[in-house]
Each structure stands twice: as structure tokens, then as C-alpha cells.
Structure 1
Amino acid sequence: MTERALPPEEASRLQSAATQHLWMHFTRHGDLPETGVPIMTRGEGVHLWDADGKRYIDGLAGLFTSQLGHGRRDLAEAAAQQMGTLEFMPLWSYAHPPAIELAERLAGLTPGDLDRVFFTNSGSEAVETAWKLAKNYFRLTGRPGKHKVISRTTAYHGTTHGALSITGLAGLKQPFEPLVPSTVHVSNTNAYRASELTAGALEVTDEQSLERFGRWAADQIGLAIEAEGADSVAAVFLEPVQNAGGCFPPPPGYFQRVREICDEHDVLLVSDEVICAFGRLGHMFGAEHFDYQPDMITTAKGITSGYAPLGAVLASERLMEPFLQSGAMFGHGYTFGGHPASTAVGVKNLEIFESEGVLEHVQQHAGTFRSTLERLLDLPIVGDVRGEGYFYGIELVKDKTTRASFSAEESERILFGFISKKLFEEGLYCRADDRGDPVIQLSPPLIAGPEDFEEIEQILRHVLSEAWTLL
């Protein structure tokens, strides 16, 4: 479907300027197509349009971000109104109304006593902040040796040096080593690969074996803490549903066991919800969805539905207490953290969540999203469909019986050389990823419904069926 396109001369000018001057993120510039950089010019609802006027369904919510969809005037007007009143004021010993109001609203929504809000600009900065806060907290409370972090293999936690150190993706980290020391990685919760992760000791075939695998995976955290020494470990960083690798939900009881382990060893549990918060799983926070109590939540993305950059660390009152002493200070911050326009958009975003019943919409349609995607399991190339809410991964295999994955050459040729490009050509914006095993990731705006799910499934079916013939 097409609509008005940019004038050819304007499209050509932008293409030339992009090629010569724009350094894009996570982009193989040497491998860009002959047609140049895809240039997106407009968005409305769950759809995007490019410079040629072609329409795409946004199957990734921008980047797990556009919760309320594109083109909302009310969110744009909230930013504009704030800019016309107070365009900038840092939160360095001063405050402004939208930051105060958003912090109050967030404190009222978080599980437990996570009543303190430290604003950042992004998810990476939120993770960086949480690690620094954990170390500073233990130093102020007389345990300066507690500084290490435990996270999971294949997990992505951000690109700043600290967040990248916590990340469990070796290939992403190697170009920037040496990184921050003191990070330890344990098994993730990929139940589809449970036999491989446990060296054949466990295979998930039913609910009971899934629970056993969850207990095993949680206990790996306890073993890592004991191996490092509990007096040296500050925090465990976990996503409610792990993103990288293709959406690994926690087995039943997993987070409850992790909470027990953290309490036993006086280690902070950080729920990294840069993706999973603000309705992505059908609740405001992923910890609420899976019924566990973290000591901190890191978040960003959906906090403004992508209409302005903003992140936050939501911390328990216990972590704030040492900093309330006379002369104490958390010596950390960002010039634009809690920017007036961004926090004003955040306030409006939460108002819309409530007035339009966004969480209820996701809860109503999440089962349909799952069942629609699960129809793809009849394709020989689809090994697993997994996820939660509006957040799913489709793992691709070359043999469903043995669960054999793609080789590096096959990933390059099939996943990136064909599937990724073909999905986009067919009008679906999503993500093909091989950080771990090859997957297609889907995370549509939270306003998406059954008709959108059908369109996504049909495009995937067509492209994946063709991809199978290339293996």
C-alpha cells in the first residue's frame, strides 16, 4: 500500500546526505543495499511509511518502544506545551513540576516500596546507574567489597561500558574490551534448549520438567554467588523476559527462587525492564506480571512511548536511606536526565494508558497474538514460538527433530541475506537476530489487534516458506 511520497529530488537529496554524513547505529554501512538507506518519513497507529510512500506494519514498535503507536498529537502537544513554559532545567539540586509529577505517578504504580525515581536518558544509562547505585549503597552501609554483578548468558543490558559489561553477548563485547571487571554470567532460561544448557541433565517436555529447569536455572545464580563470595556480589540483573536470544520467559517459580537466593546472600535484585515495562507484557511492570519483588527496576523506551528520550531507575526506599544522611550524596547524574519535555510526555503517556485501557487491551488480545503466531509452527523452518504479552520470538531451525540451528554461513545467507530484507520488502518491519540462535522478534505497538496479527502472520508465512527452500 502506498500514499504520497516525497518529491523525487527531495528523496534523492536525503539519500545522498544519509550516505555521506549519517553514522547509523548497529549498521553495516558497507553492506547497505544499492537502493540506499531506507528512509521512514511518517507514522500513524501501527503503520510506518517510507520516502517512496510505501506502507509497513510496525512489528517491533520502533524498537520495543512505541507503546501507543505513531502520530499521536496529544503526546506531541504535551512536549510542545512544556517547552513553551520551561524548556530546560536540570535535576541537579533543583526540580521542576513534570519530573516531580512523573516520579509521584511511577511510585504509585511500582510493586512494593520502589518509591524513589532517578531519571536517565536511556535504558543503558538506567542500567549503568543501577550498578553504580548498588556499589555506592553497599559502600555507605559498611560493605565496600560488594561490587560484582551476576547476569545471564546472551542477555543484552545496554551499550555503555558498565551496561555492556553486564551484557552476556561475547561478540558484542569483544570490540570494546577491556570492559568493566566484576561481572559473572550464568545460564538463561531458554527452555527450548534446556537439554543443551544442562548438558543433557534436563529436557523440558511438560509443566513439571519446566519447573525443574527453572529451579536449576535459578540455582545457578546461587552457585555463582557462593563461588564469587557473597561478600563481593552486589546485584543480580535479570530481564523479566530475556530479549536477546529470542524472548525467554521465566519458568514457573524461577523469580521466586531468585528472590530467595538474593535475600539469603544480601544481594540486590535488579529487574531490567527497559523492554518489559509499560504494558509490553500486559502489566505496567514485568515484575508485577510474574509476581516478584525487585530492589530496583531499570526502565526507558515505553515510559514515553518513544515520543521523547527518557529512562529511569525505580529504587526501594531502603536504598535511599543512606543518602538521606547529612552530607551524603549519590555523585551521579546526567544533564538531560528528567528533561522537562520528556517527563511531561511521560506524564501524558501514563494518563493515556489509564484513560484508554491500554493494559486491558493487551491482556484481552495477548492470547490471540500468541495463537496467531503459533500457527507458524506448521512450517518446517519454525522450531519454537515463545514470549509473553506483546513480546515474542520465533526461533528458526534447519531440522525440527534435532533442533539443529543454522551455521554461521546459513545465518548470514538466509537470516540476513534473505529473510530480513524480504520481510521489509513485503511490508513488515521487525527484527532478524542471531545473537544466540536465529530468531525473528516481534513486539508491535500495544494498540495492535487481531487484524494486525493476521497481517504479520501472513507476511511471515510467505517469507519463511520461501526461506526454507534456500536451506
Structure 2
Amino acid sequence: MGRFWHPFGQLYESDTNPVVFVRGEGIWVYDDTGRRYLDATAALWYANVGHGRAEIADAIAAQARELAGYSTFGTFSNRPAEELAEFLSARSPMPESEVFFVSGGGDAVETAVKLARRYFSLVGQPERTVLISRTNGYHGTWGFGTSLGGIPANRTGFGELIPTTVQVPWDDVEAVEAAIVANGPERVAAVIAEPVIGAGGVYPPPPGYFEALGATCRRHGVLLIVDSVICGFGRLGTWFGIERLGVEPDLITFAKGVTSGYLPLGGVMVSGRVAAPFKQPGAPVFRHGPTYGGHPTCTAAGIANCRILEDEQILARGAVLEGELLARLRPLASSALVAEVRGGLGLLGAVELRSDLLAEHPDALARLARLALERGIIVRVLATSIALSPPLIIEPAEIGVIVEGLADALDALAAEL
């Protein structure tokens, strides 16, 4: 038995039944027995440019030889962090964006929420501390992220969570309005929402939802935080995903696809309006930030990855392939085990199993994922669904391989049950 305690892993199972990957190439990964698997999840929603890109590895190695790491607290900086911040700001959907780098998506959510609250403190409205999130939403597993998350299992067993958080149905913008009014607009700091809900089940927004959400936030002076940790860097076909939905947010969290997972990196895009009071001479220091924020080797990986996304025209493929993925998945809805197939906005899809089946067989999703793995297809288990989010470099024929393997796994599961 090993000593590695896996995130989101049952300790006994991960110790006794590990799958040890040793190499990746394109959309494929290989285990320590030499077996090849099609990575239909892009690892954890992040390997957007695929595995084994030498350009990113070379950029990492070159930077590590020159200046591997150094703090960016205070006035210290480095060239890769400055370059990547300029690159992202120039492509931001918000004017004059500032970029606050962190180590990952969970850090980004904590940072965005604290920035929102601190902003209101600086502009003379310190009572604005209430935060509104949505059911099914996923915003990491740190303090604020756990409290804002809309997946019940991720909130259970940790005791009292942050009390000034309010949750509303994910698809009901009128419920957002009601929550703002009920809590007092003068007390609400921000609403946080994913462009497409990811880990909570792959739910694209209803038509017009984000336009209406933006209007609601503006009407009450509430900040809109868009969590693009999963949806950014081409997953929806644009840099941050939200560009397709007709709204200009105040803050955007990002991570995952910014380096395609080659090194840990995340951040917050902060609109010029929100950044303004922090930029005044003599303004208080924003006393927040991780040790590795703006890490030179991690940001060098981000630069190399973002250049690949842009130069090789990979960025748009999330939108180009979204219809292909959904069209291939739709026939799976005819399975006696399947309740619904979802997708259509970005290279994301989900196959939900019937609720009565899951009630009778709580391990059905895990069994389905195991059967897919036996057929060389890696899928992700969510609460009631199997999720797909392959690397953006995948071709239509390879999407067909994923769906054929999943269809065969569904048939095998039906036979087992």
C-alpha cells in the first residue's frame, strides 16, 4: 500500500488500485504497464493543448535554469509574470484589466471574493459582504470556495461554513434578484457564476441568462465574478468563455487551461473599475497572495501554452467541436440506463444516469467509469453523470472513439445490473 493520499480519493481504494500514468502524447496517456488510454477528460479539465508538448517543457527548463522562482511580494517582479499579465490583459473582455496571479483555481476564487469585499471597503461600503452563488456550482475547495459551492457532498462534514453566503437555483436569474433584495442590496458584494457549470454536472446556461444576470448585478451595484477556471483558454472557444454570453464581468477567475496543466497557475482578471481604488497613491496594501503568485517558471509555462493556443488556432476549437461532441453523444440517450445527455456550449459533455438506477446502485457511475477505463477511455465521474472534456486538439474521429467506448461500457453495465 502506498502513502500518497489522493485528492477526492477513497484512501483504501487509491492505495490498493492505483492507475499509474508514466507518459502522455497528444490526447493519449500511458500507464506503467504500457497500456494506452484516450484522455476524454483532459486530465482534470485542463490539458487543452494535449500532452507532451516539447515547446512548453523547453520553456519551463529554460526559465528554471535562469531564475526558477522568486517572490513577487511588494515591488519584486520577473519578466515571465509581466509578459503573461500583459498578454492576458490585452485579451480580456474587460477594459484595463489587472492580473493577480495565484497557484490555482481554488486560490483564484478566494482572491476574487476577498478583492470584491475589499473593494467595497475602500469605496466606503464595508457592509457589502454577502456573496451569492448557485446550486451545482463548483468554486474549489478552500474556505470561500467550499462555502459557495453548490455540490452538497463537497460541503458535508466540515462543520459551520462561512455564513454570509447565499445560494440560489443555477438556472433562475429571478432568484438572484430576489436574494439581493432579501439580503439588502446595500449588503451584497458579489454574485459568482460559471459560464457553463462544470463539475456540478455540465449545465450550459439558459438562453439570455448571463445578459439578465449582468443587468441585475448592475442595477443593484453588485459585482459579477465569473468563474472561468474550467471554461477558459479555449474550452468554450474563447480566452475566458464568458465572451460568448453577452456580459462584461467585474472579475474573472482562471487556472487549468492557462498552462494546460504543465505547471500549477491561476489568477484573477480584475476590471479597471474594480482595480482603480487599489491603484490610488497611498491606497492600503491588499494583504493577500500565495507564496508562488507570479512564479517565473509557472508563468513561463503559461506564455508558451497561450502562444500555442493562439498560433496554432487551437483556441477556437472548443466552439468548432461543440456540436460534433453533442451530436455524437445524443444517441446514448436511448440507453435504458441514461436519463439525459447534455452539452452544446464548448467542448464539454455529460451523460446522466437515471436517478432510480443510482438510488438502487449507488456505485453505478464508478462501475461505468471502470468499464470505460477497461476499454481504454478515461471519463470523469460527477454526482449523477459521466463528464467528457477532451483536449482541444482532438479530431472528430477520435470523439467517435470516445463515444463508442462509452456506449460499449453502458451496454456492459446494463448486463452487470
TM-score (norm 1): 0.85
Q: Which residue in the other structure is 1:420 paired with?
A: 369
| Segment of structure 1 superposing worse, 284-293 or 223-232 | 284-293
Deviation at 1:409, TM superposition (A): 4.2
Q: Which residue in the other structure is 2:392 paired with?
A: 446
Q: Which residue in the other structure is 1:400 paired with?
A: none
Map 1:69-468; keep pairs closer than 5 Å: 69-93=50-74, 94-113=76-95, 115-189=97-171, 217-327=172-282, 328-387=284-343, 388-397=345-354, 404-412=355-363, 414-416=364-366, 418-434=367-383, 438-468=384-414
Q: Does the 8 A contact of 1:114 with 1:314 survive in 2?
A: no
1:330 maps to amino acid = F
2:201 maps to amino acid = G
In 2, the alpha carbon distance for the partners of 1:339 and 1:280 equals: 24
Q: C-alpha root-mean-square deviation of aligned residues, in Å?
A: 1.4
Deviation at 1:40, TM superposition (A): 0.6
Deviations along 1:272-309, one digit per CA (max 9) or x if unpaired, are 00000000011111110222111010010000011110
In 2, the alpha carbon distance for the partners of 1:372 and 1:169 equals: 28
| Segment of structure 1 superposing worse, 136-145 or 173-182 | 173-182
In 2, the alpha carbon distance for the partners of 1:452 and 1:260 equals: 41
In 1, the alpha carbon distance for the partners of 2:360 and 2:244 equals: 39
TM-score (norm 2): 0.96
| Segment of structure 1 superposing worse, 256-265 or 86-95 | 86-95
1:227 maps to amino acid = A
1:123 maps to amino acid = G
Q: Does the 8 A contact of 1:270 with 1:298 survive in 2?
A: yes
1:445 maps to amino acid = P
Unaligned stretches of 5+ residues in structure 1: 1-18, 190-216, 398-403
In 1, the alpha carbon distance for the partners of 2:14 and 2:322 equals: 35
The DSSP-based 3-state class of the residue aligned with 1:314 is strand
Deviation at 1:89, TM superposition (A): 1.7
Q: Does the 8 A contact of 1:44 with 1:71 survive in 2?
A: yes
Q: Which residue in the other structure is 1:15 paired with?
A: none
Aligned pairs, number:
414
In 2, the alpha carbon distance for the partners of 1:133 and 1:316 equals: 11
In 1, the alpha carbon distance for the partners of 2:414 and 2:33 equals: 30
Query: Identity over the aligned pairs, expressed in percent?
Result: 40
The DSSP-based 3-state class of the residue aligned with 2:321 is helix
The DSSP-based 3-state class of the residue aligned with 1:163 is helix
